[in-house]
Amino acid sequence: MSTLQHDPRDQVRVLDEDGEVVGEVPDLSDGELVEMYRQMRLARHFDRRAVSLQRQGRMGTYPPLSGQEGAQIGSAHALDADDWMFPSYREHGAGVVRGLPLKQTLLYWMGHEDGNRMDEGVNIFPVAVPISTQILHATGAAWASKLKGENNAFICYFGDGGTSEGDFHEGLNFAGVFDTPNVFFCNNNQWAISVPRERQTASETIAQKAIAYGFDGVQVDGMDPLAVYAVTRAAVEKAKNPEEGQRRPTLVEAVQYRFGAHTTADDPTVYRDADEVERWKAKDPIPRLEAFLRNTGRLDDESIESVRQSVEDEVAEAIHAAEAVERPRPEEIFEYMYESIPEDLREQRALLEALREQYGDEAFLRE
């Protein structure tokens, strides 16, 4: 596919805002297309329920993803089964595609370390909350895989704000020098908390930054799931490229918008105006794909209702399963950072245990 030969200042599209075809539709079966749609609906419904859980005090701080379903689901579908995914903290939808149960995502944001445990064969690294640190992890893992003679691709997600971190430049520079099999996927959702994209870089696009590192960059309409799939699939093939013998990384910039807050601790009305949000909502990836699937006879009212019901049931079951798990003990915050706990943290843990013994479990946890 020739997608990656585009000028990185041009944006790749397959569907316009009305779901009309304006580019080359990727070679996906009817079943795959409908499943992409279902998973986008699943991610959106899960997102709404998760925000509601946080507001009710049933879950901790949570980062909403609404608006970014097209980029997450489209890119994750482009991976092969043995490829690896390195998420930031907002890739709940992509995780579903890769086999991460919604229950695990809920447990993570409820404070359970078990939310980071992956079943055998689920090739996803743990959530990375620090900005862009996962880029270095993904680059190192890709290089190690290449040295071992494996043929995997390694996709790494990060935001537009992450491109201002040194980890971004170091990781991409290393990847360019050593030809690591990486797909660097920038979710450019226009805002890094309250900092707009134009305050991150003077570059016309983020995709063109790849030129400095010696590999391809491509900008794609991140709210067009079919375009995202096509671009990511081409990048995965370039990362593997077993026939040609040369494996090359790619930087993908998916231009999109987060409809909600950066996290549930954020108030976006302080720095964004309502008109901007509404303009981007007109590009919503879900009705865009739904219109395409309706127009091509792949969806109708009955099948859409079936999707709605299955999505609501699946999310309800995940919430029930997650809330049935015993709440984590406060002392667990000391258990997963060091193999051998340092003396200062050992003293803090002892103090915590003493307070708990003094006040009792219920009063301690309430405070």
Q: For 98-109, what is each residue's pLDDT tens digit?
A: 999 999 999 999
Q: What span, in angstroms and rounded, lies between the C-alpha atoms of 24 and 35? A: 20
Same domain membership, residue 164 and residue 119: yes
The average pLDDT across 132-160 equals 97
pLDDT at 324: 97
pLDDT at 333: 85
Same domain membership, residue 279 and residue 136: yes
How many domains are contained in the chain? Answer: 2
Where are the strands (E) in the chain, listed by range?
11-12, 84-86, 154-159, 182-188, 191-192, 195-196, 216-221, 250-255
Q: What span, in angstroms and rounded, lies between the C-alpha atoms of 250 and 142? A: 13
Residue 361 pLDDT class (50, 70, 90 cuts): low
Does 153 have pLDDT greater than 50?
yes
- Burial of residue 329 (number of CB atoms within 10 Å: 0-12, 13-18, 19+): middle
Task: Read off the pTM.
Answer: 0.94
Contact 218, 4 (CB under 8 A): yes
| Per-residue pLDDT reduced to its tens digit, 212-267 | 999 999 999 999 999 999 999 999 999 998 666 688 999 999 999 999 999 999 99
Does 201 have pLDDT greater than 80?
yes
Same domain membership, residue 279 and residue 334: no
Same domain membership, residue 348 and residue 258: no
199 is catalytic: no
Between 2 and 245, the higher pLDDT residue: 245
Does 2 have pLDDT greater than 70?
no
pLDDT at 12: 97
Same domain membership, residue 358 and residue 239: no
Give the residues across from 159 on adjacent strands. 187
| Per-residue pLDDT reduced to its tens digit, 267-311 | 999 999 999 999 999 999 999 999 999 999 999 999 999 999 999
pLDDT at 3: 42
Same domain membership, residue 357 and residue 237: no
DSSP 227-296: HHHHHHHHHHHHHH-TTTS----EEEEEE---SS-SSTT--GGGTS-HHHHHHHHTT-HHHHHHHHHHHT
338 is catalytic: no
pLDDT at 210: 97
The average pLDDT across 140-169 equals 97
Cβ within 8 Å of residue 204, ≥6 positions away: 9
Same domain membership, residue 234 and residue 109: yes
Same domain membership, residue 273 and residue 190: yes
Same domain membership, residue 109 and residue 51: yes
Contact 290, 304 (CB under 8 A): yes
pLDDT at 319: 98
Same domain membership, residue 349 and residue 303: no
For residue 24, what is the DSSP state? P
Same domain membership, residue 188 and residue 166: yes
Task: Give residue 347's domain range.
Answer: 330-366
Does 330 have pLDDT greater than 70?
yes
pLDDT at 219: 98
pLDDT at 10: 87
Residue 95 has φ and ψ, to the nearest 5°, of -60, -40
The rounded percent of the chain whose pLDDT value lies above 70 is 95
pLDDT at 140: 98
157 is catalytic: no
Q: Tell me which of 90, 98, 258, 288 is the catalytic residue.
A: 258
Instruction: Provide the CATH number for the domain around residue 224.
Output: 3.40.50.970
Q: Tell me which of 38, 248, 262, 288 is the catalytic residue.
A: 262
Same domain membership, residue 345 and residue 361: yes
